[in-house]
């Protein structure tokens, strides 16, 4: 395990021209707090039995996609999921602190429904990390990871608040972050095109894909725009 640093090196084809970088954005496996419907945030809880099985399935599924590295949040549930994937794929695992879950302050460990009933939304609860701050650090991490991905796919293991924020920013047609499903142990496929002289272009290829492969969430997929070439074209998000 090592800390991930930023890099300006992007993936290249044999002819020296940049090619899209594939990122598999993964949600960690289940924990007891997930099962209880409670906010997790920075509470460092391990995977439960279901979560460990989900992580093992992710490892088997993603190993067939030949990733070159795994990058995780520093929290234990993401690290344990990333370890299972890295072990199965026989690749290195790194940590990026910017992938950590949203901070919920005093509400971590409290039932989500209770917080919503009291304040109208999690966003409105005092002490919760602002959504704009979550978006800024998550997108900055994704761009740095894409730039440093080398010649193969990268697996990124994070949390539902991070994943949904990233997906909503990269593809506005998916709706708000709260509209995007992210089951524990799911994956999302994303391409990042960093062609020289052109704006960075992101493509969301699948959403909430089960760890054993197959189709992503029909609810999410129905909202995306197909370009007729097997991709979903997205705008360049504002990374500021």
Between the CA of residue 112 and those of 1, 118, 124, 140, 216, what are the distances in Å? 33, 10, 12, 27, 25
Candidates 170, 173, 152; CA nearest to 236 is 170
**Hunting for tokens 């708000």 — which residue is that?**
176
Give the Cα separation of 180 and 234 in Å (integer). 16
Give the Cα separation of 185 and 204 in Å (integer). 18
pLDDT tens, residue order, the chain (240 aa): 433 332 233 344 333 446 789 999 999 999 999 999 999 999 999 999 999 999 999 999 999 999 999 999 999 999 999 999 999 999 999 999 999 999 999 999 999 999 999 999 999 999 999 999 999 999 999 999 999 887 789 999 999 999 999 999 999 999 999 999 999 999 999 999 987 777 889 999 999 999 764 444 433 343 333 343 333 344 444 443
- Structure token pair of residue 172: 């506005």
- Greatest Cα pair distance, the chain, in angstroms, is 58
**Superfamily name with CATH number, domain 2-34+53-101+131-221:** Phosphoglycerate mutase-like (3.40.50.1240)
Give the Cα separation of 34 and 159 in Å (integer). 11
Domain ranges of the chain: 2-34+53-101+131-221
157 and 148 Cβ atoms separated by less than 8 Å: no
Which residues are bridge partners to 188 per DSSP?
Answer: 25
- pLDDT of the residue at 31: 98
- pLDDT of the residue at 18: 60
- pLDDT of the residue at 215: 45
Backbone angles phi, psi at 224, to 5 degrees: -95, 155
Candidates 132, 131, 103, 128; CA nearest to 118 is 128
Candidates 142, 165, 137; CA nearest to 154 is 142
Between the CA of residue 83 and those of 22, 52, 90, 154, what are the distances in Å? 20, 11, 10, 14
């Amino acid at each position: 395990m090592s800390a991930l640093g930023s890099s300006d090196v992007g993936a290249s084809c044999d002819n020296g021209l940049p090619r899209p970088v594939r990122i598999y954005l993964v949600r960690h496996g289940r924990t007891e707090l997930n099962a209880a419907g409670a906010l997790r945030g920075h509470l460092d809880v391990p995977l439960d039995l279901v979560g460990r099985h989900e992580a093992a399935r992710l490892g088997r599924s993603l190993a067939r996609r030949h990733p070159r590295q795994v990058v995780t949040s520093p929290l234990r549930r993401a690290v344990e999921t990333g370890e299972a994937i890295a072990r199965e794929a026989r690749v290195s695992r790194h940590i990026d602190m910017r992938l950590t879950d949203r901070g919920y302050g005093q509400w971590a460990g409290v039932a989500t429904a209770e917080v919503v009933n009291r304040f109208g939304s999690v966003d409105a609860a005092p002490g919760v990390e602002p959504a704009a701050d979550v978006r800024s650090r998550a997108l900055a991490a994704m761009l740095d990871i894409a730039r440093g991905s080398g010649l193969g796919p990268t697996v990124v293991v994070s949390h539902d608040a991070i994943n949904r924020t990233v997906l909503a920013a990269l593809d506005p047609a998916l709706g708000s972050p709260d509209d995007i499903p992210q089951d524990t142990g799911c994956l999302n496929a994303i391409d990042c095109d960093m062609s020289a002289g052109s704006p960075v272009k992101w493509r969301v290829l699948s959403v909430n894909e089960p760890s054993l492969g197959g189709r992503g969430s029909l609810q999410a997929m129905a909202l995306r725009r197909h370009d007729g070439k097997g991709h979903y074209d997205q705008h360049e998000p504002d990374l500021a």
